[in-house]
A and B are shown apart, each in its own frame.
Chain A
């Protein structure tokens, strides 16, 4: 009967009709609207005005250790609401569609740089118990399944209980994460290109810290993909 009378597919966010897609056309439009005005920094993926420089000020001063980072959009509007619902309210049905959104980003932005293994940014055991899920792991699983890549959630562990990054300044975030990660199975990463998955990249401190330990473990290269990233502030100062 389901074959004869298929259920109309609806948007996973707002419930409006979205045949053949995870999100309806209105939500898709909102999720992609930023592309008209911004483009990602070639290194860290933070969003820069379309008509300006291709590399942000931070990366010009000190390039990040990862090959590149890319995101599905800026941390605002609908994407921000979705991340809140997913991460803090536990609306876990968003994991699969958001993971597929990340897969689209990987295909569009990293086409020639083919990752071999997907690795999520880990949580500390305490925070994992409190939240009951690791949002990066759920995203990574969905992304890996979509792209047919291998996934391993146990390669890096978070050894230090750190304060939530959200409340900290840029400098404090780097200090907060010093020595927070360690690699558990170096032989799995040696000589491989890894794709590191997280929900939000703001200053890039977490991604840099994870990349650092992975590179020490012999990884060939690390690319980072997140749902959201920041808009480069210098843009606001210059306009």
Chain B
């Protein structure tokens, strides 16, 4: 609940020049007295404030512009400086500003070294608002007496921290959120905190706090190079069961990706339900063995919480920290950090290995900001391992063009092939309720009932869920078998989890769902039917693969059936079936399947 009323720190300050025997520097400051003291210590004797107080985003752009054009100068020519400032202002769409050169105020005392060291340590490997740094200090039960913004400014002067405007400008003068990387959904608003009438705010990343032109982000790459090398006994995961041959090979290959360190990026392309998490233990163990830091990021917080339990059981001696909306201890240190991709926005050049799970899942697939966040969380020489069953097209293109290392995990743990979708064509397939149930649909229902399995029916729209349920109930009331034999579920269903749990328990045999059930769900003895599968806007190739991947996951019922029922065969349906077959033949070629060995 965001009900805190601590005053917000809005940065307003000056762009300035200092020069002396060692050349000329351009800087920005909210309190020039501090800069005066700092530069005097460095031997600079001449100081000039060039602008009136400006919001950080504007001051930052002007400073960068001047720095680019004045680098190498021995001293300033104020005519040149004025012209440069006016050109930079024009880039931002601002009229030429008043230009007066004013001296610096008296030098202020420097913050105490101990407080500087403390804040430096707190900020290490992170990118945070001032308020978040205060929280981190409070969490570590430490405090400072000097104003925090002054300490951070001194660190910036000393090159030990960066000051970045929440919303800044690109080289072309276009506004850009420097927290999430977006250039859209930036809104001009008045800011009562700093009095600016034309502040810019990013509405894209609001859930993580307001990113504004006047709010500074403070960032510092992680300084500690390596963790203590753990004893081998500690870094080897204690897996609960033996890995399958396919998993063992992928585990080894992924560990070598980290041990060799030659490739910066790698894609672990796994079949649905093949056990990626166990395979991910390979690179994690390899990284820990080298004393490297590891971030495991995935889009959903339920997955993060579940992973925390699993990884803790694999590595009981190690510290596993889970970060998600509402988690506590956000600023602690750990051997393995798990985070939702949103929480990764708070890390800066911190991790040697970033594992990005479910890279194509919502919201990651929709949102380039989260790639931006994860990319920024790794060290400049760090590595990224993408893991998914259905990589997005850009990643597939890179994989096909051999521009990224790919590790395949084509077989499931039980060694049975992935269920290949059967395409059922019904050229007269009507909307729900228009006419009797399609004959092919009845056949799928009867086959499922005969096998005492469950049937998950996917439909392409929320409104269709209820319509299909009514259609099924109208045609087959099921009074003779059980009272309710079919139910529906959508993302906004008030009892979503209860319905899914009841279906999992086998309380009713047929569930109609939207793509909310597309991934992350394992239900034993399951057949899958995709109704209106040729609806390409919703049923993309990747969505169809994920839906087909719900069937045959358990060793007790590995031959689950998958049906695509449609009026025609869409390209996405054909591609999904081709991809699944491709994986099966790769698994067969590599000898991972047990079908012939029975």
Residues of A within 8 A of B (CB): 85, 88-93, 126-134, 164, 166
Contacts and interface: CB of A to CB of B under 8 A. Distances in A.
Interface residues of B, number: 23
A220 to B, nearest CB: 30
A160 B185 CA distance: 36
B159 interface: no
Given A91-B206, A92-B187, A92-B201, A133 B192 contact: yes
B187 A132 contact: no
B192 A132 contact: yes
Nearest to B2: A88
5 residue pairs, one from A and one from B, having the closest CB atoms:
A132-B193, A88-B2, A130-B5, A128-B192, A90-B210
Contacts of A166: 3
A139 to B, nearest CB: 14
Interface string B126-159: 0000000000000000000000000000000000
Interface in B178-220: 185, 187, 189-194, 201, 203, 206-207, 210, 212
Given A89-B210, A132-B8, A164-B5, 7 more contacts: A90-B206, A130-B5, A130-B6, A132-B191, A132-B193, A132-B210, A134-B192
B179 to A, nearest CB: 14
Interface string B85-97: 0000000000000
B210 A127 contact: no
Contacts of A127: 5
A6 B333 CA distance: 51
A92 B203 contact: yes
B12 to A, nearest CB: 13
A116 B460 CA distance: 51
Contacts of B189: 92, 133
A147 B210 CA distance: 31
Contacts of B4: 130
A102 B365 CA distance: 37
* Max count, chain A CB within 10 A of own CB: residue among B5, B6, B203, B207: B5
B72 interface: no
Q: Interface on chain B toward A: helix, strand, loop, or mixed SS?
A: loop
Contacts of B6: 130
Nearest to B193: A132
B7 A129 contact: yes
A85 B190 CA distance: 17
B207 A90 contact: no
B311 interface: no
Contact of A132 (B3, B203, B212): B212
Q: Interface on chain A toward B: helix, strand, loop, or mixed SS?
A: helix
A71 B4 CA distance: 26
Nearest to B192: A128
Nearest to A141: B190
B7 A126 contact: yes
B566 interface: no
A89 B206 contact: yes
8 contacts: A89-B206, A89-B210, A127-B5, A130-B8, A131-B5, A132-B10, A132-B210, A166-B3
A85 B4 CA distance: 15
Contact of A129 (B8, B190, B207): B8
A89 B208 CA distance: 9
B190 A133 contact: yes
A128 B190 CA distance: 12
B57 to A, nearest CB: 15
B192 A91 contact: no
A173 B170 CA distance: 48
Contacts of B8: 129-132
Interface in B54-109: none
Interface in B39-63: none
Given A90-B201, A132-B210, A126 B190 contact: no
Contacts of B185: 93
Contacts of A128: 192-193
Nearest to A133: B192
A93 B187 contact: yes
A132 B200 CA distance: 12
Interface string B1-25: 1111111101000000000000000
A130 B7 CA distance: 4
A119 to B, nearest CB: 17
A89 B192 contact: no
B11 to A, nearest CB: 13
